[in-house]
Chain A
Amino acid sequence: MSAASLAVRQVRYEQKGFWRNPTAAVFIVFFPLLFLFIFGNNDDAVKEYGGIPYHQFFVPAMLAYGLMNATYTNLAMTLTLRRENGLLKRLRVTPLPAWASFTGMAGNALIVGAAISVVVLVCGFVFFDLAWYGHWLAVLLTCAVAVVTFSALGAAVSTFVPNEDAAGPIVNIVYFLLVFTSGTFFPISDDSVLHRIASYFPIQHLNDAIITAFLPFGTHGPMHGFAWKDLGVMAIWAVGATIVAIRRWRWEPRRSG
Protein backbone atom coordinates (compact mmCIF):
# COMPACT_ATOMS: atom_id res chain seq x y z
CA MET A 1 0.00 0.00 0.00
CA SER A 2 1.35 3.44 -0.88
CA ALA A 3 2.17 5.84 1.91
CA ALA A 4 -0.61 8.22 0.91
CA SER A 5 -3.35 5.60 0.79
CA LEU A 6 -2.13 4.15 4.09
CA ALA A 7 -2.52 7.58 5.70
CA VAL A 8 -5.92 8.20 4.13
CA ARG A 9 -7.07 4.82 5.39
CA GLN A 10 -5.93 5.64 8.92
CA VAL A 11 -7.81 8.94 8.85
CA ARG A 12 -10.96 7.15 7.72
CA TYR A 13 -10.86 4.72 10.64
CA GLU A 14 -10.07 7.55 13.07
CA GLN A 15 -13.11 9.42 11.75
CA LYS A 16 -15.38 6.42 12.28
CA GLY A 17 -14.16 6.00 15.82
CA PHE A 18 -14.43 9.72 16.60
CA TRP A 19 -18.00 10.39 15.52
CA ARG A 20 -19.29 7.27 17.28
CA ASN A 21 -17.88 8.46 20.60
CA PRO A 22 -20.58 10.49 22.37
CA THR A 23 -18.18 12.12 24.86
CA ALA A 24 -15.99 13.42 22.08
CA ALA A 25 -18.96 14.64 20.09
CA VAL A 26 -20.40 16.59 23.04
CA PHE A 27 -17.29 18.12 24.57
CA ILE A 28 -15.36 18.79 21.42
CA VAL A 29 -17.96 19.53 18.76
CA PHE A 30 -21.11 20.58 20.58
CA PHE A 31 -19.61 22.93 23.20
CA PRO A 32 -18.39 25.62 20.79
CA LEU A 33 -21.85 25.76 19.20
CA LEU A 34 -23.54 25.79 22.58
CA PHE A 35 -21.38 28.70 23.78
CA LEU A 36 -21.89 30.48 20.47
CA PHE A 37 -25.61 30.57 21.05
CA ILE A 38 -25.54 31.14 24.83
CA PHE A 39 -23.05 34.03 24.85
CA GLY A 40 -24.08 35.21 21.38
CA ASN A 41 -27.62 35.88 22.60
CA ASN A 42 -26.64 37.50 25.87
CA ASP A 43 -28.55 40.79 25.97
CA ASP A 44 -26.33 42.21 28.72
CA ALA A 45 -23.18 41.76 26.68
CA VAL A 46 -21.22 44.64 25.22
CA LYS A 47 -22.95 45.58 21.98
CA GLU A 48 -20.00 47.00 20.18
CA TYR A 49 -16.32 47.85 20.53
CA GLY A 50 -14.74 50.71 18.65
CA GLY A 51 -17.73 50.87 16.36
CA ILE A 52 -17.54 47.21 15.43
CA PRO A 53 -20.39 44.90 16.52
CA TYR A 54 -19.63 42.44 19.32
CA HIS A 55 -20.43 39.42 17.14
CA GLN A 56 -17.59 40.31 14.83
CA PHE A 57 -15.26 39.40 17.76
CA PHE A 58 -17.26 36.64 19.33
CA VAL A 59 -17.96 34.37 16.35
CA PRO A 60 -14.25 34.15 15.34
CA ALA A 61 -13.39 33.52 19.02
CA MET A 62 -15.77 30.54 19.04
CA LEU A 63 -14.19 29.32 15.82
CA ALA A 64 -10.81 29.45 17.58
CA TYR A 65 -12.25 27.63 20.60
CA GLY A 66 -13.61 24.90 18.30
CA LEU A 67 -10.24 24.51 16.61
CA MET A 68 -8.48 24.19 19.96
CA ASN A 69 -11.02 21.58 21.10
CA ALA A 70 -10.58 19.56 17.93
CA THR A 71 -6.80 19.61 18.14
CA TYR A 72 -5.49 20.25 21.67
CA THR A 73 -8.23 18.61 23.77
CA ASN A 74 -8.86 15.83 21.29
CA LEU A 75 -5.21 14.83 20.86
CA ALA A 76 -4.20 15.27 24.50
CA MET A 77 -7.05 12.99 25.59
CA THR A 78 -6.71 10.48 22.76
CA LEU A 79 -2.95 10.11 23.09
CA THR A 80 -3.10 9.77 26.88
CA LEU A 81 -5.89 7.20 26.85
CA ARG A 82 -4.29 5.21 24.06
CA ARG A 83 -0.95 5.19 25.79
CA GLU A 84 -2.41 4.18 29.13
CA ASN A 85 -4.66 1.40 27.84
CA GLY A 86 -1.85 -0.06 25.76
CA LEU A 87 -3.06 0.90 22.29
CA LEU A 88 0.11 2.81 21.45
CA LYS A 89 2.21 -0.14 22.59
CA ARG A 90 0.10 -2.48 20.49
CA LEU A 91 0.63 -0.23 17.51
CA ARG A 92 4.36 -0.87 17.79
CA VAL A 93 3.92 -4.57 17.06
CA THR A 94 2.16 -3.98 13.74
CA PRO A 95 4.04 -2.92 10.59
CA LEU A 96 2.11 0.38 10.52
CA PRO A 97 4.77 3.12 10.59
CA ALA A 98 4.47 5.59 13.46
CA TRP A 99 4.10 8.51 11.07
CA ALA A 100 1.03 6.92 9.45
CA SER A 101 -0.56 6.47 12.81
CA PHE A 102 0.09 10.10 13.80
CA THR A 103 -1.13 11.27 10.41
CA GLY A 104 -4.34 9.40 11.10
CA MET A 105 -4.88 11.13 14.43
CA ALA A 106 -3.78 14.58 13.26
CA GLY A 107 -5.81 14.25 10.05
CA ASN A 108 -8.83 13.37 12.13
CA ALA A 109 -8.26 16.44 14.32
CA LEU A 110 -7.97 18.61 11.21
CA ILE A 111 -11.22 17.32 9.73
CA VAL A 112 -13.08 17.74 13.01
CA GLY A 113 -11.66 21.26 13.37
CA ALA A 114 -12.65 22.15 9.82
CA ALA A 115 -16.16 20.79 10.38
CA ILE A 116 -16.62 22.83 13.58
CA SER A 117 -15.23 25.94 11.86
CA VAL A 118 -17.60 25.65 8.93
CA VAL A 119 -20.62 25.19 11.19
CA VAL A 120 -19.60 28.09 13.47
CA LEU A 121 -19.07 30.36 10.46
CA VAL A 122 -22.35 29.40 8.81
CA CYS A 123 -24.17 30.05 12.09
CA GLY A 124 -22.27 33.33 12.39
CA PHE A 125 -23.36 34.51 8.96
CA VAL A 126 -26.94 33.27 9.31
CA PHE A 127 -27.77 34.14 12.92
CA PHE A 128 -25.28 36.81 14.03
CA ASP A 129 -24.79 39.04 10.98
CA LEU A 130 -21.10 38.26 10.80
CA ALA A 131 -19.52 40.55 8.21
CA TRP A 132 -16.97 39.19 5.74
CA TYR A 133 -14.12 41.42 4.63
CA GLY A 134 -12.53 38.94 2.28
CA HIS A 135 -9.36 38.25 4.33
CA TRP A 136 -9.60 34.57 3.47
CA LEU A 137 -5.85 34.08 3.21
CA ALA A 138 -5.38 35.44 6.73
CA VAL A 139 -8.23 33.27 8.06
CA LEU A 140 -6.76 30.15 6.45
CA LEU A 141 -3.22 30.86 7.61
CA THR A 142 -4.36 31.59 11.16
CA CYS A 143 -6.40 28.37 11.25
CA ALA A 144 -3.46 26.39 9.85
CA VAL A 145 -1.04 27.78 12.45
CA ALA A 146 -3.64 27.10 15.14
CA VAL A 147 -4.08 23.47 14.07
CA VAL A 148 -0.33 22.85 14.09
CA THR A 149 0.32 24.68 17.37
CA PHE A 150 -2.55 23.18 19.34
CA SER A 151 -1.99 19.68 17.95
CA ALA A 152 1.63 19.89 19.11
CA LEU A 153 0.47 21.21 22.50
CA GLY A 154 -1.98 18.32 22.82
CA ALA A 155 0.80 15.83 22.17
CA ALA A 156 3.12 17.62 24.59
CA VAL A 157 0.57 17.82 27.42
CA SER A 158 -0.33 14.13 27.01
CA THR A 159 3.23 13.28 28.05
CA PHE A 160 2.67 14.94 31.44
CA VAL A 161 -0.48 12.98 32.30
CA PRO A 162 0.46 10.10 34.62
CA ASN A 163 -2.66 7.95 34.16
CA GLU A 164 -6.14 7.76 32.65
CA ASP A 165 -7.92 9.22 35.67
CA ALA A 166 -5.75 12.32 35.66
CA ALA A 167 -6.31 12.95 31.94
CA GLY A 168 -9.53 14.99 32.24
CA PRO A 169 -8.33 17.36 34.99
CA ILE A 170 -4.79 17.90 33.68
CA VAL A 171 -5.84 18.39 30.08
CA ASN A 172 -8.69 20.77 30.94
CA ILE A 173 -7.75 22.86 33.97
CA VAL A 174 -4.97 25.01 32.53
CA TYR A 175 -6.81 25.08 29.21
CA PHE A 176 -10.01 26.51 30.69
CA LEU A 177 -8.14 28.98 32.88
CA LEU A 178 -6.38 30.27 29.80
CA VAL A 179 -9.49 30.22 27.64
CA PHE A 180 -11.26 32.44 30.19
CA THR A 181 -8.34 34.78 30.78
CA SER A 182 -7.45 35.05 27.10
CA GLY A 183 -10.69 36.75 26.13
CA THR A 184 -12.28 33.83 24.31
CA PHE A 185 -15.68 34.19 25.99
CA PHE A 186 -15.65 37.86 27.02
CA PRO A 187 -13.30 40.76 26.46
CA ILE A 188 -10.41 41.19 28.91
CA SER A 189 -9.05 44.72 29.27
CA ASP A 190 -5.67 45.18 27.60
CA ASP A 191 -4.06 46.80 30.66
CA SER A 192 -5.18 44.17 33.20
CA VAL A 193 -2.86 41.72 34.96
CA LEU A 194 -4.85 38.79 33.56
CA HIS A 195 -4.19 40.02 30.06
CA ARG A 196 -0.48 40.34 30.81
CA ILE A 197 -0.27 36.81 32.16
CA ALA A 198 -2.32 35.32 29.34
CA SER A 199 -0.13 37.08 26.80
CA TYR A 200 2.68 34.62 27.53
CA PHE A 201 0.47 31.75 26.38
CA PRO A 202 -0.75 30.92 22.89
CA ILE A 203 -4.55 31.10 23.33
CA GLN A 204 -4.73 34.89 23.59
CA HIS A 205 -2.62 35.17 20.44
CA LEU A 206 -4.85 32.77 18.54
CA ASN A 207 -7.85 34.88 19.59
CA ASP A 208 -6.22 38.10 18.51
CA ALA A 209 -5.05 36.62 15.23
CA ILE A 210 -8.38 35.12 14.24
CA ILE A 211 -10.29 38.25 15.26
CA THR A 212 -7.86 40.41 13.28
CA ALA A 213 -8.54 38.23 10.25
CA PHE A 214 -12.24 39.05 10.57
CA LEU A 215 -11.89 42.81 11.13
CA PRO A 216 -12.20 45.44 8.40
CA PHE A 217 -8.52 46.44 8.46
CA GLY A 218 -7.45 48.81 5.70
CA THR A 219 -8.99 47.66 2.50
CA HIS A 220 -10.91 44.51 1.82
CA GLY A 221 -9.09 41.59 0.24
CA PRO A 222 -7.07 38.43 0.90
CA MET A 223 -3.77 40.19 1.67
CA HIS A 224 -5.13 41.93 4.77
CA GLY A 225 -5.92 40.84 8.29
CA PHE A 226 -2.64 39.11 9.16
CA ALA A 227 -1.61 39.39 12.81
CA TRP A 228 2.02 38.50 12.20
CA LYS A 229 3.18 39.00 15.77
CA ASP A 230 0.48 36.73 17.19
CA LEU A 231 1.15 34.11 14.52
CA GLY A 232 4.83 34.29 15.41
CA VAL A 233 4.18 33.66 19.12
CA MET A 234 2.01 30.65 18.20
CA ALA A 235 4.75 29.32 15.94
CA ILE A 236 7.25 29.54 18.81
CA TRP A 237 4.86 27.58 21.01
CA ALA A 238 4.45 25.02 18.23
CA VAL A 239 8.20 24.46 18.01
CA GLY A 240 8.56 24.25 21.81
CA ALA A 241 5.65 21.85 22.19
CA THR A 242 6.97 19.62 19.41
CA ILE A 243 10.39 19.39 21.07
CA VAL A 244 8.82 18.59 24.45
CA ALA A 245 6.51 15.98 22.92
CA ILE A 246 9.35 14.22 21.12
CA ARG A 247 11.72 14.30 24.08
CA ARG A 248 9.17 13.04 26.57
CA TRP A 249 7.40 10.62 24.24
CA ARG A 250 6.47 7.16 25.52
CA TRP A 251 4.70 4.32 23.75
CA GLU A 252 4.01 2.38 26.91
CA PRO A 253 1.71 3.14 29.82
CA ARG A 254 3.30 5.38 32.45
CA ARG A 255 1.62 3.38 35.20
CA SER A 256 3.84 0.40 34.32
CA GLY A 257 6.79 2.39 35.67
Chain B
Amino acid sequence: MAAMSDRDAIRVTGLTKSYGNLDAVRGVDLTIREGEVFALLGPNGAGKTTTVEILEGFRRATSGTVRVLGLDPASAGGQLRRQVGVVLQEVAVEPYLTVSEVLERNAGYYDDPLPVPDVVERVGLAEKANARIKTLSGGQQRRLDVALGIIGRPRLLFLDEPTTGFDPSARRGAWDLVRSLREVGTTIVLTTHYMDEAQALADRLAVIARGRIVAEGTVDAIGGRDTAATRIRFAVPTGVDLRALPVDAQRESAGYAVVRSQNPTRTLHLLTGWAIQRGLDLTGLTVDRPSLEDIYLELIKDPDEAVAATTAQEVYA
Protein backbone atom coordinates (compact mmCIF):
# COMPACT_ATOMS: atom_id res chain seq x y z
CA MET B 1 0.00 0.00 0.00
CA ALA B 2 2.98 2.27 -0.57
CA ALA B 3 1.05 4.39 -3.05
CA MET B 4 -1.47 5.30 -0.37
CA SER B 5 0.94 6.42 2.33
CA ASP B 6 0.61 10.07 1.33
CA ARG B 7 -2.27 12.21 2.50
CA ASP B 8 -3.90 12.90 -0.83
CA ALA B 9 -7.24 11.20 -1.37
CA ILE B 10 -7.37 12.30 -4.98
CA ARG B 11 -4.63 13.42 -7.30
CA VAL B 12 -5.37 14.40 -10.88
CA THR B 13 -2.84 15.76 -13.35
CA GLY B 14 -3.37 16.87 -16.91
CA LEU B 15 -6.78 15.22 -17.16
CA THR B 16 -8.53 15.54 -20.51
CA LYS B 17 -11.64 13.92 -21.90
CA SER B 18 -12.92 14.26 -25.43
CA TYR B 19 -16.09 12.98 -27.02
CA GLY B 20 -15.35 13.07 -30.73
CA ASN B 21 -14.66 16.72 -31.52
CA LEU B 22 -15.95 17.94 -28.18
CA ASP B 23 -13.33 18.54 -25.50
CA ALA B 24 -15.34 18.19 -22.31
CA VAL B 25 -12.33 18.36 -19.99
CA ARG B 26 -9.25 20.26 -21.17
CA GLY B 27 -6.44 19.76 -18.71
CA VAL B 28 -7.62 19.53 -15.10
CA ASP B 29 -5.15 19.38 -12.20
CA LEU B 30 -6.65 18.72 -8.84
CA THR B 31 -5.47 17.57 -5.44
CA ILE B 32 -7.90 16.71 -2.68
CA ARG B 33 -6.41 15.91 0.71
CA GLU B 34 -7.62 13.13 2.89
CA GLY B 35 -10.18 14.24 5.43
CA GLU B 36 -11.28 17.43 3.72
CA VAL B 37 -14.62 18.45 2.31
CA PHE B 38 -13.96 19.61 -1.23
CA ALA B 39 -16.63 21.32 -3.30
CA LEU B 40 -16.55 21.33 -7.07
CA LEU B 41 -18.61 24.13 -8.57
CA GLY B 42 -19.35 24.89 -12.16
CA PRO B 43 -22.15 25.52 -14.61
CA ASN B 44 -23.81 22.64 -16.45
CA GLY B 45 -21.70 21.49 -19.37
CA ALA B 46 -18.48 22.87 -17.89
CA GLY B 47 -16.87 19.46 -17.44
CA LYS B 48 -17.76 19.04 -13.78
CA THR B 49 -19.87 15.91 -14.15
CA THR B 50 -17.40 14.36 -16.61
CA THR B 51 -14.53 14.97 -14.18
CA VAL B 52 -16.44 13.47 -11.26
CA GLU B 53 -17.54 10.48 -13.35
CA ILE B 54 -13.92 9.80 -14.26
CA LEU B 55 -13.03 9.93 -10.55
CA GLU B 56 -15.91 7.56 -9.79
CA GLY B 57 -14.71 5.11 -12.43
CA PHE B 58 -17.64 5.45 -14.84
CA ARG B 59 -15.55 6.93 -17.65
CA ARG B 60 -12.00 6.65 -18.88
CA ALA B 61 -9.81 9.69 -19.23
CA THR B 62 -8.59 10.55 -22.71
CA SER B 63 -5.24 11.55 -21.22
CA GLY B 64 -3.69 12.47 -17.87
CA THR B 65 -3.25 10.59 -14.63
CA VAL B 66 -5.98 10.01 -12.07
CA ARG B 67 -5.36 8.51 -8.63
CA VAL B 68 -8.19 7.94 -6.19
CA LEU B 69 -7.01 6.60 -2.82
CA GLY B 70 -3.83 5.69 -4.67
CA LEU B 71 -5.63 3.63 -7.32
CA ASP B 72 -6.65 4.18 -10.92
CA PRO B 73 -10.46 4.31 -10.80
CA ALA B 74 -10.75 3.06 -14.40
CA SER B 75 -9.24 -0.30 -13.49
CA ALA B 76 -9.24 -0.64 -9.69
CA GLY B 77 -12.67 -2.32 -9.50
CA GLY B 78 -13.78 -3.84 -6.21
CA GLN B 79 -10.68 -2.81 -4.30
CA LEU B 80 -11.62 0.85 -4.74
CA ARG B 81 -15.39 0.41 -4.59
CA ARG B 82 -15.12 -1.09 -1.11
CA GLN B 83 -13.61 2.20 0.12
CA VAL B 84 -15.65 4.70 -1.86
CA GLY B 85 -19.27 5.77 -1.47
CA VAL B 86 -21.14 7.47 -4.27
CA VAL B 87 -24.43 9.33 -4.14
CA LEU B 88 -25.55 9.93 -7.70
CA GLN B 89 -27.93 12.62 -8.85
CA GLU B 90 -30.77 10.37 -9.87
CA VAL B 91 -32.53 8.25 -7.28
CA ALA B 92 -32.39 4.57 -8.16
CA VAL B 93 -33.61 1.93 -5.75
CA GLU B 94 -35.74 -1.20 -6.16
CA PRO B 95 -39.31 -0.05 -5.52
CA TYR B 96 -40.65 -3.19 -3.86
CA LEU B 97 -38.04 -3.66 -1.16
CA THR B 98 -38.14 -1.84 2.16
CA VAL B 99 -35.64 0.74 3.37
CA SER B 100 -34.09 -1.72 5.82
CA GLU B 101 -33.96 -4.53 3.27
CA VAL B 102 -31.94 -2.59 0.68
CA LEU B 103 -29.62 -1.27 3.34
CA GLU B 104 -29.13 -4.75 4.81
CA ARG B 105 -28.48 -6.13 1.34
CA ASN B 106 -25.93 -3.47 0.42
CA ALA B 107 -24.28 -3.65 3.85
CA GLY B 108 -23.41 -7.24 2.96
CA TYR B 109 -21.24 -6.01 0.06
CA TYR B 110 -18.74 -4.35 2.41
CA ASP B 111 -16.18 -5.65 4.90
CA ASP B 112 -17.07 -3.35 7.78
CA PRO B 113 -20.43 -1.67 7.16
CA LEU B 114 -22.18 0.72 9.50
CA PRO B 115 -25.08 -0.79 11.46
CA VAL B 116 -28.27 -0.43 9.42
CA PRO B 117 -30.42 1.05 12.23
CA ASP B 118 -27.77 3.74 12.84
CA VAL B 119 -27.70 4.74 9.21
CA VAL B 120 -31.50 4.79 8.98
CA GLU B 121 -31.54 7.05 12.02
CA ARG B 122 -28.83 9.36 10.70
CA VAL B 123 -30.59 10.07 7.43
CA GLY B 124 -33.88 10.59 9.25
CA LEU B 125 -35.77 7.58 7.91
CA ALA B 126 -36.34 5.78 11.22
CA GLU B 127 -40.14 5.85 10.87
CA LYS B 128 -39.85 4.60 7.31
CA ALA B 129 -37.44 1.74 8.01
CA ASN B 130 -40.00 -0.92 7.13
CA ALA B 131 -41.80 1.00 4.39
CA ARG B 132 -41.51 -0.10 0.78
CA ILE B 133 -39.39 2.27 -1.23
CA LYS B 134 -42.15 3.07 -3.71
CA THR B 135 -44.16 4.62 -0.88
CA LEU B 136 -41.41 7.11 -0.01
CA SER B 137 -41.49 10.73 -1.15
CA GLY B 138 -38.84 11.99 -3.54
CA GLY B 139 -36.91 13.60 -0.71
CA GLN B 140 -37.05 10.43 1.36
CA GLN B 141 -35.80 8.35 -1.57
CA ARG B 142 -32.95 10.80 -1.97
CA ARG B 143 -32.07 10.35 1.70
CA LEU B 144 -32.11 6.60 1.21
CA ASP B 145 -29.65 7.13 -1.63
CA VAL B 146 -27.39 9.00 0.78
CA ALA B 147 -27.78 6.14 3.26
CA LEU B 148 -26.67 3.68 0.56
CA GLY B 149 -23.68 5.89 -0.13
CA ILE B 150 -22.45 5.76 3.46
CA ILE B 151 -23.49 2.25 4.53
CA GLY B 152 -20.07 0.81 3.63
CA ARG B 153 -18.23 3.24 5.94
CA PRO B 154 -16.42 4.86 2.98
CA ARG B 155 -13.06 6.58 3.27
CA LEU B 156 -14.08 8.78 0.38
CA LEU B 157 -17.61 9.90 -0.44
CA PHE B 158 -18.84 11.54 -3.64
CA LEU B 159 -21.97 13.60 -3.21
CA ASP B 160 -23.50 14.79 -6.47
CA GLU B 161 -25.87 17.66 -5.73
CA PRO B 162 -27.05 15.91 -2.59
CA THR B 163 -29.64 18.43 -1.43
CA THR B 164 -31.34 19.38 -4.70
CA GLY B 165 -35.07 19.39 -4.02
CA PHE B 166 -34.72 19.26 -0.23
CA ASP B 167 -36.80 21.46 2.03
CA PRO B 168 -34.74 23.72 4.33
CA SER B 169 -34.86 21.40 7.34
CA ALA B 170 -33.93 18.32 5.31
CA ARG B 171 -31.07 20.37 3.91
CA ARG B 172 -29.80 21.24 7.38
CA GLY B 173 -30.05 17.57 8.25
CA ALA B 174 -27.94 16.64 5.24
CA TRP B 175 -25.38 19.29 6.14
CA ASP B 176 -25.14 17.96 9.70
CA LEU B 177 -24.60 14.50 8.26
CA VAL B 178 -21.77 15.74 6.05
CA ARG B 179 -20.15 17.46 9.04
CA SER B 180 -20.41 14.34 11.18
CA LEU B 181 -18.80 12.27 8.41
CA ARG B 182 -16.01 14.80 8.16
CA GLU B 183 -15.44 14.52 11.91
CA VAL B 184 -14.65 10.83 11.56
CA GLY B 185 -12.16 11.60 8.81
CA THR B 186 -14.19 10.88 5.67
CA THR B 187 -13.00 12.74 2.60
CA ILE B 188 -15.96 14.25 0.81
CA VAL B 189 -16.16 15.48 -2.78
CA LEU B 190 -19.27 17.57 -3.18
CA THR B 191 -20.72 18.99 -6.36
CA THR B 192 -23.41 21.56 -5.89
CA HIS B 193 -25.16 24.54 -7.46
CA TYR B 194 -25.82 26.14 -4.08
CA MET B 195 -23.22 28.67 -2.99
CA ASP B 196 -24.46 28.65 0.60
CA GLU B 197 -23.98 24.89 0.65
CA ALA B 198 -20.39 25.16 -0.52
CA GLN B 199 -19.84 28.00 1.94
CA ALA B 200 -21.31 26.03 4.85
CA LEU B 201 -19.53 22.75 4.20
CA ALA B 202 -16.40 23.04 2.10
CA ASP B 203 -12.87 23.33 3.44
CA ARG B 204 -11.72 24.09 -0.07
CA LEU B 205 -13.39 24.43 -3.40
CA ALA B 206 -12.62 24.63 -7.07
CA VAL B 207 -14.56 26.26 -9.87
CA ILE B 208 -14.54 24.46 -13.19
CA ALA B 209 -15.52 26.28 -16.37
CA ARG B 210 -14.95 25.52 -20.05
CA GLY B 211 -13.22 22.24 -19.14
CA ARG B 212 -10.62 23.78 -16.83
CA ILE B 213 -10.24 24.65 -13.19
CA VAL B 214 -10.45 28.45 -13.22
CA ALA B 215 -9.98 28.96 -9.49
CA GLU B 216 -9.22 26.90 -6.44
CA GLY B 217 -8.87 27.75 -2.77
CA THR B 218 -10.66 28.19 0.53
CA VAL B 219 -14.16 29.65 0.62
CA ASP B 220 -12.78 32.94 1.97
CA ALA B 221 -9.90 33.31 -0.45
CA ILE B 222 -11.08 31.78 -3.73
CA GLY B 223 -10.82 33.99 -6.79
CA GLY B 224 -9.11 36.72 -4.76
CA ARG B 225 -12.18 37.11 -2.57
CA ASP B 226 -9.99 37.93 0.45
CA THR B 227 -8.13 40.68 -1.39
CA ALA B 228 -10.97 42.01 -3.51
CA ALA B 229 -12.00 45.59 -3.01
CA THR B 230 -14.61 46.30 -0.35
CA ARG B 231 -17.79 47.83 -1.67
CA ILE B 232 -19.31 50.80 0.19
CA ARG B 233 -22.77 51.78 -0.98
CA PHE B 234 -25.05 54.61 0.14
CA ALA B 235 -27.84 56.89 -1.02
CA VAL B 236 -26.49 60.18 -2.33
CA PRO B 237 -27.90 63.00 -0.14
CA THR B 238 -30.00 65.43 -2.14
CA GLY B 239 -28.14 68.31 -3.67
CA VAL B 240 -24.73 66.70 -3.26
CA ASP B 241 -22.37 66.56 -6.20
CA LEU B 242 -20.34 63.33 -6.18
CA ARG B 243 -17.25 65.30 -7.14
CA ALA B 244 -17.45 67.07 -3.78
CA LEU B 245 -16.88 63.80 -1.87
CA PRO B 246 -13.47 63.13 -0.33
CA VAL B 247 -13.46 59.66 -1.93
CA ASP B 248 -13.85 58.40 -5.47
CA ALA B 249 -17.50 57.38 -5.88
CA GLN B 250 -19.47 56.10 -8.84
CA ARG B 251 -23.12 56.84 -9.33
CA GLU B 252 -25.32 53.77 -9.34
CA SER B 253 -28.98 53.35 -10.15
CA ALA B 254 -31.80 54.73 -7.98
CA GLY B 255 -29.81 57.55 -6.40
CA TYR B 256 -27.13 55.34 -4.91
CA ALA B 257 -23.38 55.70 -5.13
CA VAL B 258 -20.68 53.06 -4.75
CA VAL B 259 -17.11 53.37 -3.55
CA ARG B 260 -14.64 50.54 -4.05
CA SER B 261 -11.76 50.49 -1.63
CA GLN B 262 -8.73 48.43 -0.78
CA ASN B 263 -8.56 50.26 2.53
CA PRO B 264 -12.10 50.34 3.82
CA THR B 265 -11.29 51.55 7.34
CA ARG B 266 -9.75 54.75 6.02
CA THR B 267 -12.26 55.23 3.23
CA LEU B 268 -15.22 54.85 5.59
CA HIS B 269 -13.65 57.24 8.07
CA LEU B 270 -13.18 59.88 5.37
CA LEU B 271 -16.66 59.42 4.01
CA THR B 272 -18.59 59.40 7.29
CA GLY B 273 -16.43 62.20 8.72
CA TRP B 274 -17.28 64.34 5.71
CA ALA B 275 -20.99 63.61 6.11
CA ILE B 276 -21.08 64.32 9.86
CA GLN B 277 -19.25 67.64 9.35
CA ARG B 278 -22.00 68.74 6.96
CA GLY B 279 -24.85 67.28 9.04
CA LEU B 280 -25.75 64.88 6.19
CA ASP B 281 -27.15 61.41 6.62
CA LEU B 282 -25.82 58.56 4.43
CA THR B 283 -29.01 56.52 4.34
CA GLY B 284 -28.86 52.88 3.24
CA LEU B 285 -25.15 52.66 4.00
CA THR B 286 -23.77 49.13 3.50
CA VAL B 287 -20.25 47.76 3.52
CA ASP B 288 -19.60 44.39 1.95
CA ARG B 289 -17.18 42.25 0.05
CA PRO B 290 -18.06 40.24 -3.05
CA SER B 291 -20.07 37.18 -2.04
CA LEU B 292 -19.01 33.71 -3.11
CA GLU B 293 -21.73 33.96 -5.72
CA ASP B 294 -20.34 37.24 -7.11
CA ILE B 295 -16.92 35.64 -7.41
CA TYR B 296 -18.35 32.50 -8.92
CA LEU B 297 -20.35 34.34 -11.55
CA GLU B 298 -17.29 36.39 -12.42
CA LEU B 299 -15.16 33.24 -12.72
CA ILE B 300 -17.49 31.30 -14.97
CA LYS B 301 -18.04 34.19 -17.36
CA ASP B 302 -16.95 33.23 -20.84
CA PRO B 303 -14.19 35.71 -21.77
CA ASP B 304 -15.58 36.03 -25.30
CA GLU B 305 -19.09 36.60 -24.04
CA ALA B 306 -17.83 39.15 -21.53
CA VAL B 307 -16.21 41.14 -24.34
CA ALA B 308 -19.38 40.91 -26.40
CA ALA B 309 -21.47 42.11 -23.46
CA THR B 310 -19.22 45.09 -22.87
CA THR B 311 -19.34 46.05 -26.52
CA ALA B 312 -23.11 45.82 -26.53
CA GLN B 313 -23.32 47.96 -23.42
CA GLU B 314 -21.16 50.62 -25.04
CA VAL B 315 -23.31 50.63 -28.13
CA TYR B 316 -26.50 51.13 -26.16
CA ALA B 317 -25.00 53.60 -23.66
Q: Give me the interface of A with B, judged by CB distance under 8 Å.
A: 1, 6, 9, 13, 16-18, 20-21, 85-87, 89-90, 92-97, 252
Contact = CB atoms under 8 A, between A and B. Distances in A.
Interface residues of B, number: 27
A93 B56 contact: yes
B96 interface: yes
Contacts of B85: 93
A94 B58 contact: no
B81 interface: yes
Nearest to A1: B108
A9 B86 contact: no
Contacts of A93: 56-57, 81, 84-86, 88
A220 B106 CA distance: 50
A89 B58 contact: yes
Contacts of B97: 13, 16-17, 20
Contact of B92 (A18, A86, A96, A97): A86
Contact of B58 (A13, A18, A252): A252
Interface string B65-95: 0000000000000100110111010111111
B88 A9 contact: no
Interface in B44-60: 56-58
Given A1-B108, A16-B97, 15 more contacts: A13-B105, A18-B96, A85-B92, A89-B58, A90-B92, A90-B148, A93-B85, A93-B86, A93-B88, A94-B81, A94-B109, A95-B78, A95-B82, A95-B110, A95-B152
21 contacts: A6-B108, A13-B101, A17-B95, A20-B96, A20-B97, A20-B132, A86-B92, A87-B92, A87-B94, A89-B58, A89-B92, A90-B88, A92-B58, A93-B56, A93-B57, A93-B81, A93-B84, A93-B88, A94-B152, A95-B81, A97-B78
Contacts of B108: 1, 6, 9
A90 B149 CA distance: 10
B101 A86 contact: no
Top 10 A-B pairs ranked by shortest CB distance? A86-B92, A93-B86, A20-B96, A95-B81, A87-B92, A17-B96, A86-B90, A95-B82, A90-B92, A95-B78
B109 A95 contact: yes
B78 to A, nearest CB: 5
A85 B132 CA distance: 17
